[in-house]
Amino acid sequence: MQETMRRGTLIQLPVLPLRGMMVFPHMVLHFDVGRPKSVAALEKAMIEDQRIFLVAQQEAEIDDPSMNDLCRVGTIAQIKQVLNLPGDSIRVLVEGVQRAVLSSISETEPCMIGVIRPVREEPVRDSAEMKALVRTAHEFFEEYCNASMRVPQETMRSVMEVDKPDQLADVIAANVLTKLEDRQAILEKLRARDRLEALCAILLRETELADVEKQVQARIKRQIEKNQKDYYLREQIKAIQTELGDKEATDVEELREKLAKTPVNDEAREKAEKELERLSRMAPGTPEIGISRTYIEWILDLPWGKMTDDNLDLKRARKVLEEDHYGLEKVKERIIEYLAVLRMKKDMKGPILCFAGPPGVGKTSIVRGIAKAVGREFVQMSLGGVRDEAEIRGHRRTYVGAIPGRIISGIKQAGTMNPVFLFDEIDKMTSDFRGDPASAMLEVLDAEQNFAFRDHYMELPFDLSHVMFITTANNIENIPPALLDRLEIIEVPSYTDEEKLKISRKHLLPKQIAAHGLKPRSVKVNDKVMRTIIEGYTREAGVRTLERTIARVVRKATVEMLDDKVETVTVNAEKLNSYLGAVRFTREELEKENRIGVVNGLAYTTVGGEMLQVECTIMQGSGVLQLTGKLGDVMQESAKAALSWVRAHCEPWGIPAEFFKQHDIHIHVPEGAVPKDGPSAGVTLITALVSALTSIPVKQSVAMTGEITLRGRVLPIGGLKEKLMAAYRAGVKLVLIPHENVKDLEDVDAAILERMEIKPVTDVTEVIRTALVCEPPMVSESQIETPLPIQPKSKANAYRGL
């Protein structure tokens, strides 16, 4: 406080904190008191000299303030009247006497007693500067009253009559200022000159704000008047057009009302309003009316702001996945992980899942299961054969018959902004002169871009960031690298025969019985007959053909039930043959005798694993290597690498160098009409060559797979699970695999590992030593890099631990 200000002596008075208000000296005010301590302070003041210290709270929300919650400067007031109101409230009338400073609090119960220092103001000198300050305050006050139009004329006149500097600032502040901070700032100015200067600054600021408010209010008023005028005119036009039977005008108004209720974004609303205005001015019968209305309806039919609540109960999700899908444990585990993270982080912008695997293994149904488990709508878009970018982004409206792309169409079909959206067969997209749809998919599947996806037809941003995009593919090698980089690949393996058997009994057979209107268990098929159906009438990685075959059996059984008037039919081997005819497929059978130049190889195809025999023969010729069996480029290169290794290591066999110039070598892989490719036949080709050149037979109970190098190293391969399954079906006793593939044995069924011996190898010399009936001269212990085959009691457990 100013040093020049004379202070009064310290006194003690009851303290009454005020919330959202304050009292100035010379001001008469009434207010209600309800807090217990405030009532107690009021009663104590009435008992004594009816004086009380009124001070504003810094925070109005505090019910029981302490000294730190109070302002330091307040007003000593004289209580004029006390009136008890219904309830516990009291209405009190007070008059401000003088400013005072709160020094401390001496008591807090039953009320606050403050140590108060009254402020005695110095006499105001009647100087020219003070007169000018009073006149300026009057002028600023008058300008504010004229600008704001909030101060009554009576108040204005009474204030203009006040000419005492020490009272003028308090009177104006009490009647004009609305902010508690401004009022308290004036109260804390202890000299009249300082109060007037601060008040003039505040009045100037408030006058400018009042002028801006008047401008804003005038603009809003004009807009409202325009809107009312437009509404009135539209209603008149609508009534006239209704009388004339003009249906187009009625449709425009309905679209306008629908737009007002739809929470579209600003750009969409602007485009829709512009198009509506254009539509309303078109003459009846104009061809563009239908185009314009269709565009507006597309905007309004999109699910702006509509979301379905996610059900992220992991137990329920596991139950749904288990009900609809057998096996696929790793796939289900990854889906549960995805949902768990989604539950923890609601706005997760995670990777786009891509289920990759052969046809018929349940990729699409898994995605349906995810949608069912989460409780979202499901949309499926097949990308097979899509070669036009407009299929993704839509056609521009300049074209006749333009429509939005299938992304926007799918969102409209779902009716929500967060469906599960499946891009099926994403590896089947192609490109031509009309564009590259795979490039258009980059924006759709990128979480950093798809929040403002623009369809060429709609020409406005639409948020796709809430959509759960999932894709499926048969061969990920056909997916462009930039698109593949946005996907998290989840391998969906082919089913084993055991898995197919369980799927048939648990899902397929009951499903077909119900689909044909039969009672449960009215068609009985035992495991032996079901295995015959699986192995003899289907050859696939999935179960689609198997389901169709079972459906055929059920249809035949239905006819028999109606003919013989029986309620159940048991399908045995004889009936199966009459239903389906002769067995279509026979599994590979091992040669009973060991043969020269014939080796059992293992291949991985789109329908699962297969066992292929590689045949090699030597004949007189000119050193030509003949390869037949429709071999691909990679497999032909593997054959050339195998021959190079054999020629480099054949000296101990007693074969002269001129031998390869005087003889032709013919390698053939049967089923010549079936294309074959890949590097995993390297060890098979070398073994066949060595057997043919040394005339040493190959053990027919052995099968092998592995890529080779010119140094004879055996490199890892893919599809080990399917290849071992093929060897298991054929009755192979020993399978040679690359040592680096031992880790993949964890995915192989324990039943397969228990019935076969698996031997990891790192060098072709070990392959030759194991596969041939007797070892050729070149093979010795010093050339073998790995230990002898492991002979565990339980092979499944042993190889799972490698």
As annotated, the active-site residues are 680, 723
pLDDT of residue 279: 81
Containing 264, the helix (H) or strand (E) segment is none
Strands 113-120 and 6-7: antiparallel
pLDDT digits (tens, 9 = 90+) for 636-674: 999 999 999 988 888 877 788 788 888 899 999 887 667
Asked if 41 and 15 touch (Cβ cutoff 8 Å), the reply is yes
Percent of the chain scored above 70 by pLDDT?
91
- Residue 125: what residue type? R
pLDDT at 243: 63
State the pLDDT confidence band at 251, using cuts at 50, 70 and 90: confident
Confidence class for position 2, pLDDT limits 50, 70, 90: very low
Give the amino acid at 560. Answer: E
CA 549 to centroid of chain Cα atoms: 39
- Residue for token pair 């040394």: 694
Question: How far lies 473's CA from each of 358, 424, 559, 675, in Å?
Answer: 8, 7, 39, 21
pLDDT at residue 784 tops 50: no
Comparing 144 with 594, which gets the higher pLDDT? 594
What the block records as the tokens of 599 is 């080796």
Sign of CA dihedral 780, 781, 782, 783: positive
Question: What gap in Å lies between CA 705 and CA 718, rounded to an integer?
Answer: 10
pLDDT at site 480: 85
Q: Who contacts 190 (Cβ-Cβ below 8 Å, separation ≥6)?
A: 1, 2, 5, 73, 99, 119, 121
Q: What's the CA gap between 399 and 678, in Å, rounded?
A: 47
Over range 525-533, report the average pLDDT. 89
| Confidence band, pLDDT 50/70/90 cuts, at residue 759 | very high
In this model, does residue 786 exceed pLDDT 60?
no
**Average pLDDT of the residues of the chain:** 82
Is it the case that residue 253 has pLDDT exceeding 70?
A: yes
Whether omega before 110 lies within 30 degrees of 0, making that bond cis, reads yes
Instruction: With cut-offs at 50, 70 and 90, classify the pLDDT of residue 140.
Output: confident
Interatomic CA distance for residues 154 and 151, integer angstroms: 8
Return the bridge partners of 487, or none.
352
Residue 250: what pLDDT? 61
At 122, the amino acid letter reads E
Residue 714 has pLDDT above 90, yes or no: yes
Neighbours of 363 (CB within 10 A): 26
**pTM of the model as a whole:** 0.58
Position 702 pLDDT exceeds 90: yes
Cα distances (angstroms) measured from residue 358 to each of 472, 493, 792 = 10, 7, 34
What residues pair up with 120 in beta bridges, in sequence order?
6
More confident site: 510 or 277: 510
Per the listing, tokens 């293994």 go with: 361
Average pLDDT over residues 374-394: 84
Q: Is 87 left (phi over 0), alpha (psi -120 to 50) or beta?
A: left
- Burial classification of residue 290, based on how many CB atoms lie within 10 Å of its CB (0-12 exposed, 13-18 middle, 19 or more buried): exposed
